[in-house]
Amino acid sequence: MSRQPSRRTFIKNTSAIGAAVFVGGAVDLRAQERSANEKLNVVSFGVGGKGGSDSANAATFGNVLAICDVDRGTLESKGNSEGFKSAEKFTDYREVLAKYGKKIDIATVSTPDHMHGPITLAAMRLGISCYTQKPLTRTIYEARLLATVAKETGVCTQMGNQGTALDSSREAIAQIQSGVLGTLKEVYAWSNRPVWAQGPGRRMTMEKFSAQAKKEDPENAEKLIAKKKEEIEKALEKVDWKSWIGVAPTREFWPGIYHTFQHRGWWDFGTGALGDMACHQLTVPFASCELRDPISVQAKSTGHDFDSFPASSIIKFEMPETKNRPAIPFWWYDRKGNKPPMEVFAKHGITSVSDSGVLIVGEKGAFYSSDDYCGTYTLKGVDKVKVDFEKAENKGNNDLNNMYELFRAKYANDPKICKSNFIDRAGPLTETILLGNLAVWAAATGGANGEMGEWGEKVEWDAKNLVVTNLASLKTPHVADLIKPKYAEGHRLD
C-alpha cells in the first residue's frame, strides 16, 4: 500500500493543483514554490561530498526538515548554509525517521555505499520516496530487495546516476535501440577510477601501529603511540563512528583510511571502481543493449586481501541471448591506463582513446563515448537516424534535472516518470554491475610487481534466484557472502 500524506493529497486534489502549470503532463514545480508550506518535505542522509550537492538540489525544490551526517563538522557546515538553517541535525538515520517519519515526502541518501540499502529500505517502508546515490547498494540482494520494496510501497524512486537526465544519453539509447549498429557484438567500458586508495595490506589498528613503532623506533615508540591515540580521540569527537559503521562488521577507527571518501576501496563498505563508475557509464549500454542477468563473470586483478579491493581489474560478463540480440560479452577495465586492446578501437578509426569511456560494437558500426556519462558520443561507420526520445526538463544541469524528475514523479504520484527508478532501471543495473565484484573476489591473486594476475575462477550465475550455480566447485572462500549481507543488530534487512 502506498502512503498518501494529507498535504500531498491536498496539493493533488484541490485548488492548489489547479493553480499549477502542467508541462508534458507533469506538474511544474515553479507554481508550487510560493511558500515552504506548499513544498514537499525533505530529509537528507549524508550532506558532505556528493551529498552536499544532492541535499542542495533537493532543497531547491523542497522544504528541508532534517539533515543527517556522521561527521559533525560537515553537519554544522551544511546547517549554516542557505536552505538548511532551520533543519534539525542528526548523526543516526534511525533517529531522523523515528521523529519525522510520516512527515517526510522525499529522502536523499548519499552516504558510504554500505549504508545506501538500510537507510533507503527504512525510508521506503515508511512510504518515503527516495533519491539514492549510485551504486544503489553494496550487494546484489539489497538491489533486488530495494526494487521489490519500491514496488510494494508504490513510492517514487531515483538513483543518482545523473547521466540518465542528459538528452544526449537518452538520444544515444534511442539510436542504438533503432538498430543503427546492426546486430550487436560486444560492449566495452573502461574507467580511470579508482581515485581513492585500494590494494592489499591497508588496514591499520592501534595494535599494528604499536608493533611497528616499537620495531622501527623503539626509543620514541611510547611517545608516538600516545600521540596517535590523542589524534584518534580528537578525530572521534567529530565522527560518530558507530553510526558510520552502521550495518557493517565492527572495526577500529583509523584516521584517513575510511572517512572521508575512502570507503569505496574496502569490501565491507564499498564496491570498488566498478560500483562507483559503472552505474554512470552503463546508462546507455544497459538500456540499449539489454545488459541484464549475466550468466557468468570472470576477472583478473592486481591482487587483493579480501579486505581492500585490488588496485586494478579486468572483468568479462557473459550476457545471454535475448529476443533482440545474440549472446554478447561485456568487458570492464578499471584504473587509469587500463583499457581494451588498441586494435579494438583501431577497427573503427579511433586512434586516441579517452581515459574513461564506452564502446558498443555492432556488425555495421560502433558507438563511442569518451566521457563518464555518455554525454558526448559518435557513431562510427554509420550515420545517425531520426529517433524520438523524451527530453529531460532543464533546470540548469543534469544533476538538478535528475533530482527534479523525482519531485515531478512525487507530485504526479507516478513512479514511472523517473528514468532511473529502482524497479525498471536502477535495481537491475546495480545487480548486473555488482555481480562483477564476485568475479573480482575470486581473482585475488595478482601478478608480480603489481601487474595483473591470471584469470580467476569463473562464477556461474542464476540471476532469477540470485544463486552461484557452481559454488560447490569454487575454491575461493565466501563468494556467496557477497550476495546478501548480514546487517548488524538494530538495522533491518528483510
pLDDT(10) > 60: no
Find the largest Cα–Cα distance for the chain. Answer: 78
- Which DSSP symbol is given to 306? S
Burial 92-116 (b: 16+ CB within 10 A, else e): ebbebbeebbeebbbbbbbbbbbbb
17 has pLDDT over 60 = no
Please say if the pLDDT value at position 438 is more than 80: yes
For the whole prediction, is pTM greater than 0.85?
yes
pLDDT at 484 over 60: yes
* 366 touches 380 (CB < 8 A): yes
* pLDDT for residue 38: 81
Average pLDDT estimate for 297-315? 98
Rounded to whole angstroms, the Cα distance separating 214 from 222 reads 8
Axis-axis angle for helices 6-13, 398-412 (nearest 10):
90
Using an 8 Å Cβ cutoff, are 161 and 385 in contact? no
Does 210 have pLDDT greater than 70?
Answer: yes
pLDDT at 375: 87
pLDDT at 16 over 90: no
Please compute the mean of the pLDDT values over residues 412-420 and round it to a whole number.
Answer: 98
- The answer to whether residues 382 and 365 touch, using CB atoms and an 8 Å cutoff, is yes
Higher pLDDT, 196 or 12: 196
The DSSP result for 124-193, as a single string, is HTTT-EEEEPSSS-SSHHHHHHHHHHHHHH---EEES-GGGG-HHHHHHHHHHHTTTT-SEEEEEEEE--
pLDDT at 490 over 80: yes
pLDDT tens-digit series, residues 103-153: 999 999 999 999 999 999 999 999 999 999 999 999 999 999 999 999 999
Residue 12 has pLDDT above 70, yes or no: no
Q: What is the mean pLDDT of the chain?
A: 93
Task: List helix spans (H) across 178-282.
Answer: 206-216, 221-236, 241-245, 272-281
The topology (CATH level 3) of 167-198+271-389+426-482 is Dihydrodipicolinate Reductase; domain 2 (3.30.360)
Is pLDDT of 36 > 50?
no
Cell of 334: 578499471
Q: Kindly list the domain boundaries of the chain, sorted by start residue.
A: 6-165+398-423, 167-198+271-389+426-482, 206-256
pLDDT at residue 37, rounded to an integer: 57
Quick check: 228 pLDDT over 70?
yes
Q: How is residue 417 annotated by DSSP?
A: G
* % of the chain at pLDDT higher than 70: 93
Q: Above 80 in pLDDT, residue 82?
A: yes
pLDDT at 32: 42
Comparing 23-32, 44-53, 314-323, 433-442, the range with the smallest average pLDDT is: 23-32
Tens digit of pLDDT for each residue in 51-75?
999 999 999 999 999 999 999 999 9
The mean pLDDT value for 234-251 works out to 98
Write the burial class of residue 488 (CB in 10 Å: 0-12 exposed, 13-18 middle, 19+ buried).
middle
Q: Domain 6-165+398-423 is in which class?
A: alpha beta
Give yes or no on whether 6-165+398-423 and 167-198+271-389+426-482 have one common fold.
Answer: no
Which residues neighbour 326 within 8 Å (Cβ) at sequence distance 6 or greater?
A: 183, 184
Query: Given a cut of 50, is residue 11 above it in pLDDT?
Result: no
pLDDT confidence of residue 251: 98
